[in-house]
């Protein structure tokens, strides 16, 4: 019923901020800039003030941002500084106050733990000097150390106590070993006595058996002697009974050897019960000796226990009186440096002393009335400041109770009115304000469990529930209706998300989102919901609206990414063309690159409009340069082949004209090879024996005319008539059916070369 929904009206402010006007966005940006400027100005101050608690406390009061105050609080080191910060920040930001309170509590816990650890270390040091070690005080020291939080102690304290505990364990082990040796020696002595007694008894019985029976005197005839009845036969232990006795005696002796006095007491009781059950049966002296030895050792240990208990009681009285002296010294107004009492550890010490007295008394330690009166009087004196504090706390709790009752009376006076008003915003404004003020004032009075008397807590809670229920019941009903309306808005927003997922091209999605936000803002102003409910619904609504914008943004981003990828592909294609070295790259490779570029460029892809013209221009330029290089390279290659052909023809003519010459073969070998169709007839001509003279003049002229016609070369004025005559002869031969079979152009060129 006591919810924390009405602290602030942030749940309604959040939707309003999300649908804010441009002016609000500008104001938000201005506030963000101011916050950044404040951080830039104050963070160096916080760093410079580290180690100076006074400067850090000043920053916690004057810093403009809560995170700066939080940084200053986290930099504080002293307990008093943290305590002061916790008190001063109670009325400020709750986040900073929580951190300050938590750090102060941690500092107090650390100090108390380290002080308690130091006291335990001092007790252990004093105990180390005592001989023999009191077992009860050692147990109390272990319990006190285990009650401390080891994470709050210093490494020196941990190491010091560990060393002391090892020393105490060593001393205790030595004392136990010495006591064990004494016990074993005593057991051996008793066992030896039992064996000796058994041997003596056996010798006596053997001697009696060896003596001859004495002659019985003859009875006088006149006297009749009375004969005594024979004694009853002795009942001896059976093997099973002997084994049972030996077993229980062994268990008791083992418990005694292990130092388990409680277990030994129980085992000894079992031994007594076993001996009692065998009453009337002859038991060997050896078993009886072991039984008596166990009782003797128990009596000795009981004496030691009583002696240790008496010393423990004396030690408790001394501690109680020392505690009383410290209490009186702290309350002395004339003392120059009175000790400062920490009341909670002080009260815990008093309670621990009383608990230790009860435990020692339960163990059977002897005590007297005078010792108890000294102990009780000392603790009563030591408890006086604690009692005074308890009385002050009782008065404070009574005042707190009266303040809470006054708040409840004020809340009960608030009118509620109609549960279904026409104007919910105006109707619930005053009850909400009163309820918020009540909740704030109630929280400022502290937690109910520790600030009011226990006897009045139940009735106060009942009245609190009734007073708050009177306002919250109709308010919750109105909020239920408002919550249903908000959930309907959330459902509409989520449906819009699904619709946009099915059809990303929905154009009116932003307008519909703005309309939903306006409706939400209107509902939030009319009646705010509980803070948790408002926050949950607002989170769902905002997630849905953000998803709408995110989907649109994702669609735009995907399109931009696709355009960017296409642009990158075009740029890479142009870069590959421009990266080709036109001077050294083979023509075949340039032709292949040119074909691949043409095929890739002909593929239809979409690129940003602003880059289309530039891409086309750059590609055309790069392609034109590469095509021109391919064409020029082909022309150069053809010219080079023609030069080599002319050189070989010239060598053939020189060889045919001059015969075999010394350097003609070397010059022929130095020339590059020609295409196979050209190289083969030239090689045949070169391999033939040189014959002087070229072709006949008529044959040579006809050959030249054929070459000019085949290569479609323009004819000179002198050769036009001869070419015309050649064509007429060819036409005549064709009409008369005497035309030669058409030769392959390559073979015809080879014939020309030959």
* Whole-structure pTM value: 0.34
C-beta atoms surrounding 434 within 10 Å = 16
CA–CA–CA angle 729, 734, 736 (5° rounding): 95
- Measured between alpha carbons, how far is 572 from 2 in angstroms, rounded to an integer? 68
* For range 489-517, the mean pLDDT: 83
Which two structure tokens, joined as six digits, stand for 371? 């010792």
Segment 170-175 long-range contacts (CB within 8 Å, at least 24 positions apart): 171/128, 171/133, 172/133, 172/138, 175/132, 175/133
- Measured between alpha carbons, how far is 340 from 3 in angstroms, rounded to an integer? 41
Per-residue pLDDT at 546: 87
- Measured between alpha carbons, how far is 481 from 492 in angstroms, rounded to an integer? 17
Per-residue pLDDT at 693: 52
Helix, strand, coil distribution of the chain in percent, nearest 5: 75, 0, 25
Which string of b and e fits 321-342 if b means at least 16 CB within 10 Å? bebbebbeeeeeeeeeeeeebe
* For range 272-295, the mean pLDDT: 73
SS (H, E, C) 233-276: CCCECCHHHHHHHHHHHHHHHHHHHCCCHHHHHHHHHHHHHHHH
450 vs 8: which has the higher pLDDT: 450
* For range 105-114, the mean pLDDT: 85
Per-residue pLDDT at 579: 84
Three-state SS for 282? strand
DSSP tally for the chain: helices H, then strands E:
27, 0
Per-residue pLDDT at 328: 84
Read off φ and ψ for residue 282, nearest 5 degrees: -70, 120
Question: Which alpha helices (DSSP H) does 129-238 contain, by range?
Answer: 135-146, 155-210
Per-residue pLDDT at 206: 67
- Provide the CA 524 distance to its chain's centre, in angstroms: 38
Phi-psi region of 364 (alpha: psi -120 to 50; beta: other; left: phi over 0): left
Per-residue pLDDT at 406: 92
Q: Are 275 and 244 in contact (CB under 8 A)?
A: no
Window from 267-281, 394-408, 449-463 with minimum mean pLDDT? 267-281
Residue 282 forms beta bridges with which residues?
Answer: 236
Report the sign of the C-alpha dihedral through residues 123, 126, 129, 131, in that order: negative
* pLDDT at 490 exceeding the cut of 80: yes
* For range 479-488, the mean pLDDT: 85
* pLDDT at 555 exceeding the cut of 50: yes
CA distances from 593 to 75, 495, 515 (A): 68, 53, 57
Read off φ and ψ for residue 236, nearest 5 degrees: -100, 165
Which two structure tokens, joined as six digits, stand for 457? 């807590």
Residue 631: enclosing H or E segment and its boundaries?
helix 609-658
As to burial, measured by CB atoms within 10 angstroms (0-12 exposed, 13-18 middle, 19+ buried), residue 196 is exposed
- Measured between alpha carbons, how far is 165 from 121 in angstroms, rounded to an integer? 9
* pLDDT at 34 exceeding the cut of 70: yes
- Measured between alpha carbons, how far is 607 from 559 in angstroms, rounded to an integer? 10
- Measured between alpha carbons, how far is 335 from 174 in angstroms, rounded to an integer? 46
Which two structure tokens, joined as six digits, stand for 49? 């003030």
- Measured between alpha carbons, how far is 481 from 488 in angstroms, rounded to an integer? 11
* For range 448-467, the mean pLDDT: 87
The single-letter DSSP state of residue 468 is H
As to burial, measured by CB atoms within 10 angstroms (0-12 exposed, 13-18 middle, 19+ buried), residue 253 is buried
Q: Are 346 and 382 in contact (CB under 8 A)?
A: yes
C-beta atoms surrounding 352 within 10 Å = 16
* pLDDT at 13 exceeding the cut of 50: no
* pLDDT at 171 exceeding the cut of 50: yes
* pLDDT at 15 exceeding the cut of 60: no
Q: Are 632 and 585 in contact (CB under 8 A)?
A: no
136 vs 142: which has the higher pLDDT: 142
644 vs 328: which has the higher pLDDT: 328
Per-residue pLDDT at 216: 46
* For range 234-250, the mean pLDDT: 74
Q: Are 3 and 479 in contact (CB under 8 A)?
A: no
User: Considering the chain, what is the average pLDDT of its residues?
Assistant: 76
645 vs 136: which has the higher pLDDT: 645
Sole residue written with tokens 């948790």 = 532
Which two structure tokens, joined as six digits, stand for 418? 């109609």
* For range 165-171, the mean pLDDT: 81
* Model confidence band, residue 185 (pLDDT cutoffs 50, 70, 90): confident
Residue 504: enclosing H or E segment and its boundaries?
none
C-beta atoms surrounding 687 within 10 Å = 7
* pLDDT at 43 exceeding the cut of 60: yes
Q: What is the pLDDT of residues 507-528, one digit of tens each?
A: 788 888 888 888 888 877 777 7
C-beta atoms surrounding 726 within 10 Å = 17
735 vs 617: which has the higher pLDDT: 617
- Measured between alpha carbons, how far is 336 from 224 in angstroms, rounded to an integer? 108
* For range 131-157, the mean pLDDT: 78
The single-letter DSSP state of residue 422 is S
Per-residue pLDDT at 219: 46
- Measured between alpha carbons, how far is 513 from 547 in angstroms, rounded to an integer? 11
Three-state SS for 8? coil
Q: Which of 405, 412, 495, 393 is nearest to 451 (CA)?
A: 393
* pLDDT at 439 exceeding the cut of 80: yes
* Model confidence band, residue 322 (pLDDT cutoffs 50, 70, 90): confident
Per-residue pLDDT at 24: 67
Per-residue pLDDT at 711: 64
The alpha carbons of the chain give a radius of gyration, in whole angstroms, of 59
* pLDDT at 65 exceeding the cut of 60: yes
* pLDDT at 217 exceeding the cut of 60: no
Window from 136-150, 267-281, 658-672 with minimum mean pLDDT? 658-672
* pLDDT at 288 exceeding the cut of 50: yes
* pLDDT at 411 exceeding the cut of 70: yes
* Model confidence band, residue 605 (pLDDT cutoffs 50, 70, 90): confident
* Model confidence band, residue 712 (pLDDT cutoffs 50, 70, 90): low
Break the chain into its structural domains and give their ranges.
49-189, 580-692, 695-754
Per-residue pLDDT at 175: 74
- Measured between alpha carbons, how far is 385 from 383 in angstroms, rounded to an integer? 6
């Amino acid at each position: 019923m006591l919810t924390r929904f009405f602290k602030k009206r942030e749940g309604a402010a959040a939707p309003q901020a999300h649908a804010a006007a441009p002016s609000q966005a500008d104001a938000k940006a201005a506030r963000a800039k101011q916050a950044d400027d404040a951080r830039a100005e104050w963070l160096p101050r916080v760093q410079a003030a580290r180690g100076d608690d006074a400067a850090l406390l000043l920053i916690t009061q004057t810093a403009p941002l809560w995170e700066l105050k939080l940084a200053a609080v986290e930099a504080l080191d002293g307990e008093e500084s943290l305590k002061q910060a916790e008190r001063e920040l109670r009325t400020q930001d709750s986040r900073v106050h929580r951190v300050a309170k938590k750090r102060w509590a941690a500092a107090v816990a650390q100090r108390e733990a380290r002080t308690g650890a130091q006291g335990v270390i001092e007790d252990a040091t004093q105990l180390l000097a005592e001989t023999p070690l009191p077992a009860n005080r050692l147990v109390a020291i272990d319990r006190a150390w285990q009650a401390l939080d080891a994470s709050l102690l210093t490494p020196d304290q941990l190491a010091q106590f560990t060393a002391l505990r090892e020393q105490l364990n060593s001393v205790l082990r030595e004392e136990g070993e010495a006591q064990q040796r004494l016990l074993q020696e005593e057991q051996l002595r008793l066992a030896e006595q039992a064996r000796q007694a058994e041997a003596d008894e056996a010798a006596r019985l053997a001697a009696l058996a060896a003596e001859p029976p004495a002659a019985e005197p003859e009875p006088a005839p006149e006297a009749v002697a009375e004969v005594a009845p024979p004694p009853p036969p002795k009942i001896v232990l059976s093997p099973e009974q002997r084994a049972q006795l030996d077993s229980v005696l062994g268990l008791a002796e083992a418990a005694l050897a292990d130092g388990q006095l409680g277990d030994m007491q129980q085992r000894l009781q079992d031994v007594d019960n076993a001996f009692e059950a065998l009453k009337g049966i002859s038991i060997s002296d050896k078993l009886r000796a072991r039984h008596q030895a166990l009782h003797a050792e128990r009596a000795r240990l009981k004496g030691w226990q009583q002696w240790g208990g008496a010393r423990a009681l004396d030690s408790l009285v001394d501690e109680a009186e020392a505690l009383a002296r410290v209490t009186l010294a702290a309350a002395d107004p004339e003392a120059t440096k009175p000790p400062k009492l920490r009341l909670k550890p002080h009260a815990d010490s008093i309670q621990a002393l009383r608990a230790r007295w009860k435990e020692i008394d339960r163990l059977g330690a002897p005590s007297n009335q005078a010792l108890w009166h000294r102990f009780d009087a000392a603790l009563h004196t030591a408890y006086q400041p604690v009692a005074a504090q308890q009385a002050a706390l009782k008065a404070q709790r009574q005042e707190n109770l009266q303040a809470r009752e006054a708040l409840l009376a004020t809340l009960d006076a608030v009118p509620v009115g109609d549960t279904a008003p026409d104007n919910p915003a105006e109707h619930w404004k005053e009850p909400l304000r009163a309820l918020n003020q009540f909740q704030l004032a109630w929280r400022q009075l502290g937690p109910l469990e520790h600030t009011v008397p226990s006897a009045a807590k139940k009735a106060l809670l009942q009245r609190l529930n009734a007073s708050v229920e009177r306002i919250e019941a109709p308010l919750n009903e109105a909020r239920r209706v408002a919550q249903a309306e908000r959930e309907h808005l959330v459902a509409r927003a989520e449906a819009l998300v699904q619709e946009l997922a099915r059809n990303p091209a929905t154009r009116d999605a932003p307008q519909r989102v703005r309309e939903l936000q306006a409706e939400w803002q209107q509902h939030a102003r009319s009646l705010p919901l509980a803070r948790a409910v408002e926050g949950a619904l607002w989170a769902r609504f905002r997630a849905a609206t953000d998803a709408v914008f995110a989907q649109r943004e994702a669609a735009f981003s995907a399109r931009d990414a696709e355009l960017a990828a296409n642009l990158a592909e075009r740029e890479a294609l142009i870069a590959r063309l421009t990266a080709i070295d036109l001077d050294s790259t083979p023509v075949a490779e340039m032709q292949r690159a040119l074909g691949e570029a043409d095929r890739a460029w002909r593929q239809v892809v979409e690129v940003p409009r602003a880059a289309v013209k530039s891409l086309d221009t750059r590609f055309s330029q790069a392609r034109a340069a590469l095509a021109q290089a391919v064409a020029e390279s082909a022309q150069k290659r053809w010219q080079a082949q023609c030069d080599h052909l002319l050189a070989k023809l010239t060598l053939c003519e020189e060889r045919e004209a001059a015969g075999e010459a010394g350097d003609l073969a070397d010059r022929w070998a130095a020339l590059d090879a020609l295409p196979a169709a050209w190289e083969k007839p030239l090689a045949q001509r070169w391999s033939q024996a040189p014959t002087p003279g070229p072709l006949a003049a008529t044959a040579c002229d006809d050959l030249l005319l054929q070459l000019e016609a085949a290569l479609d070369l323009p004819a000179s004025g002198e050769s036009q008539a001869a070419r015309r005559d050649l064509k007429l002869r060819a036409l005549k031969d064709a009409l008369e059916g005497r035309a030669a079979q058409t030769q392959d152009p390559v073979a015809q060129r080879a014939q020309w070369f030959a």
